[in-house]
Amino acid sequence: MEILRVKDLCKFYGKNETLVKALDGVSFSVNKGEFVAVVGASGSGKSTLLHILGGVDKPSSGKVYVDNQDVFKLNESNLAVFRRRQVGLIYQFYNLIPILNVEENITLPLLLDGRKPDETYLNELIDTLGLRSRVKHLPNELSGGQQQRVSIGRALMNRPAVLLADEPTGNLDSKASKEIIELLKLSNKKYEQTIIMITHDQNLALNADRIITIDDGKIVSDKKVR
């Protein structure tokens, strides 16, 4: 089942001589439960792609459908609703709210949506992430790997249509990196979570089902690895 479709996506900055084509006619589609890695050198346009998929940035032209919904036809407030229900974002630098503890950070997207957290799911998530002993801690009391696990928890809390991860291990040592990748794979299997992960690390990408390579704003290869 198709959960995400990208059609002729373009994102240009500047004009005339200084025109930069960050994305230049990108099209692909992702099925539910797929784990896709987007690989490219820095400046290839992969972060721009991720931001557009997450409804954070707007494309110059082209369309993005998530769950058959044309994302950029949404108005400002519906886009916010889209972001909190359909997208989970994981960043290289975690982007946790420093004033909220682990549990609060994880449940924040739900609370913003005015819903009560599902206690069983929350507890399961916390246990899966190995954060049981840390629920009342503030982010700055955690290690980098632990913080990233919190941000995964936060991204999964709403059971989003797609989980977008931007260099999720970029700031971690190899042991913690491995843990994070295992967690992503686990969530992919356990909850049939669709994941799109951006990385410049080919080895890391090999953990995914499918690798899309981007260069100069264009898709240069799109292969199933599994």
Partner 1 sequence: MLFKLSIKNMTKSIKDYAIYFLTLVLGVAIFYMFNSLDSQQAMLEVSQSTRSIIELMIGMLGFVSVFVSVVLGLLIVYANNFLINRRKKEFGIYMTLGMGKRQISKIILLETILVGIISLGIGLVIGIFSSQFMSILVAKLFEADMSEFHFVFSKEACIKTCIYFAVMYLAVMIFNTMTISRYKLINLLNATKKNEKVKMKNPFLAVLVFIFGSSILGYAYWKVTGDVGSMNTAEKILPPILMGIVGTVLIFWSLSGFIITVIQKMKNIYFKDTNMFVLRQINNKINTMVASMSVICLMLFMTISILSSSLALRNTMQRELVEMTPVDLNLYKTANLPESYMKYGVEHKITNEKQREDSKHPIYETLINNGLDMNVLKDIVEIEVYATNNLTWETFFGDSLNEVKEKFPGLAYGTAEEIVKISDYNKMAKLYGINEYELNEDEYIVLCDFDSQTELRNKVLAKGNYPLTIAGKEYKSKYNKCQEGFIMMSTSHTNLGIILVPDSCPLTEEMKEMYLLSANYNAETEEEKKEIEKNFAGNQNSSNLIKSLNDNGIELDGFTKISLMEASVGIATIVTFIAIYLGIIFLIASSAILALKQLTDSSDNKQRYTILRKIGCDEKMINKALFRQIGIFFGMPLILAIIHSIFGIQFAITIMSGLASKDDLLPSIIATVVIIGVIYGSYFLATYFEGKNIIKEEE
> In the complex, which residues of this chain contact partner 1 (CB under 8 A)?
51, 54, 56-57, 76-77, 80-85, 87, 89, 95-100, 108-109, 111-113, 154
Least Cβ distance, residue 91 to partner 1 (angstroms) = 9
Residue 54 vs 145, nearer CB to partner 1:
54
Helices first, then strands: H and E counts in the chain: 7, 10
> Tokens in use for 29?
């589609």
CB of 210 to partner 1, least distance (A): 25
- For residue 139 the two structure tokens come to 């982010």
Of 112 and 220, the one with the shorter C-beta distance to partner 1 is 112
**In angstroms, what is the minimal distance from the CB of 54 to partner 1?**
7
Q: Cα(first)–Cα(last) distance of the chain, in Å? A: 18
Distance, in Å, from the CA atom of 58 to the CA atom of 71, rounded to the nearest integer, reads 10
Maximum Cα–Cα distance for the chain, whole Å? 56
Residue 29 CB, nearest distance to partner 1 (Å)?
23
110 neighbors 117 (Cβ within 8 angstroms): yes
For residues 2 and 69, is the Cβ–Cβ distance under 8 A? no
Minimum Å distance from CB 79 to partner 1? 8
Q: Determine the Cα angle at 155 with ends 174 and 9, to 5°.
A: 95
Q: What is the residue whose two structure tokens read 């100069």?
A: 216
